Amino acid sequence: MRRLAGYYFLMYLAISVYTPYTSLFFSDKGFSNTVVGLILSLWAFVSVVSQPVMGILNDRMSNPRLILLVSAVVAPMTGIGFYFFDGLPAIIMLSLFFAWFQSSMAPLSDSFAVEMGKREGFSFGSIRLWGALSYAIGAFASGFVYEKYGYDSIFFYYLAINLCLTLVIFLLPSTKPAFRKTTILEQVSEVIRNRPFLIFVGISMMTFMSVAINFSFLPIYFKELGFDKSLLGSAFAIAAIIEVPMFWISAKLSRKIGRYRVLSAAAAIYALKYVLLFVFADVYLTLGLQLLDGIAFAFVAGTAVEVVESYSSDRTKATMQTVFAAVTWGLGGIVGNAFGGIVVDHLGPQLLYLILGIFCATASTLYMITSRGSASRMISG
């Protein structure tokens, strides 16, 4: 548990020093908001392919440490290239390799952590909260550093932390396959035939797509509305620090009221936040609303992983986690980031948040309907 906690702490610390500032990094290179959105959409497109492939590979090899180690080395080494190249063709080429390895780390780690938690008797939330804590620390500190020295070195910080992460990966426990190996076709077929899982993925895409858009374009929201960008790190830190206790609370709520109801509440909280960002343009209110963001994210991230795991068999644990991430974060990011850039350029950032509020309100309703449908089937059964 301590080793996994240390791993999550470093992994999300690495993520915190570049992810919140990626849009500003490319914006400072001279790309328009539309092009920035398209670059981020390319990252998401690559993840749609890479995450299921890496998940299938993980389930067949039963050696997640090796895959995580390769990803932790290749992703930051490729990311350094963004500093040295300014042309769009070079950025696109680097994005293919960077996004392939970087995007797979979180879902593969979650699958590994859930499996270890079931074996050793601890909850996924008790591990994931260490990632929330480190993200809060990293986002808060890096915001002030980048505002003073610029955003062009974000991938150097990412590389430095990942070097430490690779050392921790060697200390992670090993896993042994508890099932017979199957063909790739059998693995894919098992996922496609799982109708409850597919319904869950479809509903979740609306929520996760909105979260991805907000994550990518909150820095642009700050920039377009003339907010002090040195507070951007504080905004992400506020959301992340409240996640720490909320991951623990989400596990308690899931057992008490059910996982789908927790997800419905999370989507409703997101909807409230986005509508308020549409109505009001105040930097301090925006900072305060990040508390809602952190609560909702902890509910979604902690609960969704466990829902996906409940639909998985022993031979598709990593496959389903990566498929879920590929569709919700990946495909949702493709559509969302491209759409978000166009909306911001032509209609402004506030209208974008009204649209996100509608998406999340719809998802909240569908989660609740699904929850009632599941309860009805249990009673009739």
Longest Cα pair distance anywhere in the chain, in angstroms? 63
pLDDT for the residue 362: 93
Report the candidate in 353, 346, 118, 368 with the shortest Cα–Cα distance to residue 258: 368
pLDDT for the residue 105: 85
Contact 172, 4 (CB under 8 A): yes
Mean pLDDT calculated for residue range 128-157: 81
pLDDT for the residue 178: 45
Compute the distance between CA of residue 311 and CA of residue 224 in angstroms, rounded to an integer: 42
Contact 169, 7 (CB under 8 A): yes
The top-scoring range by mean pLDDT among 54-63, 189-198, 297-306, 313-322 is: 297-306
Report the candidate in 35, 65, 58, 126 with the shortest Cα–Cα distance to residue 341: 35
The top-scoring range by mean pLDDT among 91-95, 306-310, 368-372 is: 91-95
Share of the chain above pLDDT 90, in %: 12
pLDDT over 90 (residue 270)? yes
Residue bearing the bigger pLDDT, 374 or 341: 341
Query: Which domains does the chain possess?
Result: 2-172+184-371 (1.20.1250.20)
Number of H helices, E strands in the chain: 16, 0
pTM of the model: 0.71
Question: Which DSSP letter does residue 173 get?
Answer: P
Tokens of 45: 């497109």
pLDDT for the residue 358: 93
Q: What is the pLDDT of residues 201-231, one digit of tens each?
A: 888 988 888 888 888 788 888 888 888 877 8
Mean pLDDT of the chain: 81
pLDDT for the residue 9: 92
Q: What are phi and psi of 233, to 5 degrees?
A: -60, -40
pLDDT for the residue 378: 36
Tokens of 366: 């569908």
pLDDT over 60 (residue 109)? yes
Tokens of 137: 């620390």
Q: What is the pLDDT of residues 74-102, one digit of tens each?
A: 888 998 988 888 888 888 899 888 988 88
pLDDT over 90 (residue 273)? yes
Mean pLDDT calculated for residue range 107-112: 81
